[in-house]
Amino acid sequence: MKLLLDTNAYSALRTGNSAVIDRIRRSEHLYLPMIVIGELLYGFGLGSRNLENKTQLESFLAERHVSLAAVDYEVCEVYARIAGPLRLRGKPIPSNDLWIASIALRNNFSLLTRDKHFVPVEGLNVIDW
């Protein structure tokens, strides 16, 4: 399984959450969306361990079973396709999470997250822990 990590999944991994570690061990490959990188760097900058957290993130990204997942034109098309119907059904989700869901859908990744608002996204394989 190709697994896309949401911000909360990366954070749970860093704190040693055994359920997240187990899910990650069973995955074929890990992907971290550029949007999550932005959220993490923002959070690191607000904390007192900015340099340590950045170093850990860079080390994680250097692992051979980890890749970045970027936004390309096809991801933008998915975003446009899913954002409107979610809003019309009264189930809008935060913009960053729309991008994360779009990356997962475009690339056929499963999304590891605790956020329940991803569930209404049609076709998205959401994995909780």
Q: Residue-wise pLDDT tens for the chain (129 aa)?
A: 999 999 999 999 999 999 999 999 999 999 999 999 999 999 999 999 999 999 999 999 999 999 999 999 999 999 999 999 999 999 999 999 999 999 999 999 999 999 999 999 999 999 999
Third-level CATH fold of 2-127: Rossmann fold (3.40.50)
Give the C-alpha separation, 5 to 110, whole Å. 9
Give the C-alpha separation, 95 to 5, whole Å. 16
**What is the pTM for the complete model shown?**
0.95
Q: Which two tokens stand for residue 86?
A: 């979610």
Alpha helices by DSSP H, listed for the chain, are 7-14, 18-25, 34-46, 50-61, 73-88, 95-107
